[in-house]
Amino acid sequence: MKIGVVSDTHDNLPNVAEIVDLLNAANVERVVHTGDITSAKTLRALARLRAPLVGVYGNNDLERELLCEASAEFGFDFADPPLELHWAGRHIVVVHDVTEHDPDELHAGDVLLHGHDHFHRAEKVGGTLIFNPGECSGQIKGQNAVGVLDLTQLETEILFF
């Protein structure tokens, strides 16, 4: 199973449009947003995804009521972190900012997905793959990125745009 991983979209709608196109072209089966959506207009733009979207709220998701309404409208599933998923025989923990959680809690699964710092990270710590796709809301063409994670092989790919 291949999943898309997106973080820190911060209402950059032109980038969100490219993210949707990239993840649709990658034929991911599900998409995880690791927080900092910022407002409901970003969820409206993400509604063009062909895969179901789940995720966590970040520190800049202050319009919570509007985000919850838009989530419900589009059939998305967002929660406060940590979010635990069980897909393709893998235990996945999703948070926004890793510094706000107990490290033992974060390394309880096969995969830890996070965002917040806007830096790419793909490394194994103990038995846990830690993955942050990096910057996707920036203004520098070619430096923005989303991730694709193959849950079967536990391999990551970065799609730059």
Could you please state the CATH topology (level 3) that the domain comprising 2-160 is classified under. Answer: Purple Acid Phosphatase; chain A, domain 2 (3.60.21)
149 touches 3 (CB < 8 A): yes
Q: Percent of the chain at pLDDT above 90?
A: 91
Q: Any idea where the domains of the chain sit in the sequence?
A: 2-160
What is the rounded average pLDDT for all residues in the chain?
96
The 10s digit of each residue's pLDDT in 122-140 is: 999 999 999 999 989 987 7
Q: What pLDDT is recorded for position 105?
A: 86
The pTM of the full predicted model, rounded to 2 decimals, is: 0.96
Please give the helix or strand (H or E) that residue 146 lies within, else none.
strand 145-150
Written as one letter, the residue type at 126 is G
Nearest to 57 by CA among 74, 76, 44: 76
The 10s digit of each residue's pLDDT in 11-67 is: 999 999 999 999 999 999 999 999 999 999 999 999 999 999 999 999 999 999 999
| Cα 93–chain centre separation | 11
CA-to-CA distance for 114 and 56, rounded, in angstroms?
9
